[in-house]
Structure 1
C-alpha cells in the first residue's frame, strides 16, 4: 500500500515538473466506466424517457441511479423514485430499491437564464479521482469551466449531449470553482453530477 502511494505521488510530481510546476489540466474523456459518467448516462436516459414516456427507459434509469448509490442534492427531486413510480405505473415490475451504498455520486438539476451563469464551489481530496459531469437538456450553448483556488483552469469546454465529463487527480486537497455559462438567448436546464 505504501509503495503504491509513493509511486502515485512520484508520478504526480513528475507530471507537475514536466508542466513547469503546474498541476495537470483535466480534459474531456470518453470514459464510460466511472460512476459519474454512468450517473450522467442514467440521467440523460431518464430525461429522454420523460419526453417519450417509455416505461422501460424509466425503469432502466431508475435502476441505474439506485445501483450507483446516486443521491439528489439541494432541491433536486429524487429522480430514481420518480422514474421507478413512472415505470410501475406503466406496468413494469421492478425489484425492490437497492440500498447498499451510503455515499456515491451526487446530482442536482438546475436552470440557467438566457446569457446567465451558475457558479458553485466544492472541495476535492488529494489523491482521490475528481469527476464532474454535465448533462444538458438543450443541444448546445453551455460552457463548463472549472478552476482551482489559484484561478488555474482545470477544465474548460463546451457542453454537448448526451453529457460532458471532466476528470482529474488533485495533487492537493483544494476547493474548486465550477462555472456553467449559458450563451443562448433562452434558459437552459441541466443536471450537474459530482463525485
Structure 2
C-alpha cells in the first residue's frame, strides 16, 4: 500500500528538471542546459547557481555571443537573489560556448583555430528538444574529420591536430522547423 502511494506521488509530482541521463555528459553543455531550464522555470536561485558554476568551469562566450553567466547573474539579482560567489578559480584558457538557432534547412559555419599537439574537442547539444541537427568538422584542406547527426543529448568530435590551423565547424538543420543548439569548443 505504501509503495503504491509513493509511486503515485512520484507520478503526480513529476521531475522539476530533465533527468540526469537526459542531459549532456560535458559539464559546460550540462550547465548551459540546466541554466536554460532554471530560466524557463523562473527558478532564480538555481539560475544564479548555474551562472556561478559556468564561471567556475572557466567557460566564456564565443566572440559575438552573449555572456550567459553575466546575464543569468543579473536576472537572478533583479529578482532579489544574492549569494556570495563560489570559491573556485577559473582556468586561463577555458572552453568557449555558443548558443545558436537555425531555420529549417539552414546551416552555420564557425571557423576555429586549434593548436598543433593539443587535443581539440567540439561538443554539441540540441536545445529544448531540437531535432534533425547534424555537425561536421572540416580541416583547412576541406577534408571532413568528423560528421555526426545530433540525435541524442550530446555529440562530440575530438582529434589531435598535427599542425596549428583553422577548422570549419558546420552545424546543419535538416528538419522542417527551426532548431536551437549549444556548441562548446575546447
TM-score bucket (shorter structure): 0.7 to 0.9
1:42 aligns with 2:31: yes
Contact kept, 8 Å, 1:43 with 1:135, in 2: the verdict is: no
Aligned-partner Cα distance in 2 for 1:127–1:72 = 24
Instruction: Specify the alignment match of 1:66 in structure 2.
Output: 55
Normalized against structure 1, the TM-score is what? 0.72
Residue among 113, 129, 132 paired with 2:122? 132
Q: Relative to structure 1, is the Cα distance of residues 139 and 187 closer, same or farther in structure 2, using a 3 angstrom cutoff?
A: closer
Aligned-partner Cα distance in 2 for 1:160–1:81 = 30
Give the RMSD, CA atoms, in angstroms: 2.3
Report Cα offsets for 1:36-83 as digits up to 9, x if no partner: x22111111111222222234313321221101211123321111222
1:175 aligns with 2:154: no
1:189 aligns with 2:180: yes
Aligned-partner Cα distance in 2 for 1:194–1:60 = 23
1:91 Cα offset (Å): 5.0
The equivalences for 1:34-183 within 5 A come to 37-90=26-79, 92-96=81-85, 100-137=90-127, 138-183=129-174
Q: Post-superposition, which runs of at least 4 consecutive aligned residues in structure 1 deviate over 4 A? A: 89-92, 97-100
Q: Relative to structure 1, is the Cα distance of residues 161 and 47 closer, same or farther in structure 2, using a 3 angstrom cutoff?
A: farther
Report Cα offsets for 1:95-131 as digits up to 9, x if no partner: 2376643431111222211101101211211111101
Runs of 5+ consecutive residues of structure 2 not aligned to the other structure: 1-23
Normalized against structure 2, the TM-score is what? 0.75
Aligned-partner Cα distance in 2 for 1:45–1:161 = 16
Equivalenced residue count is 161
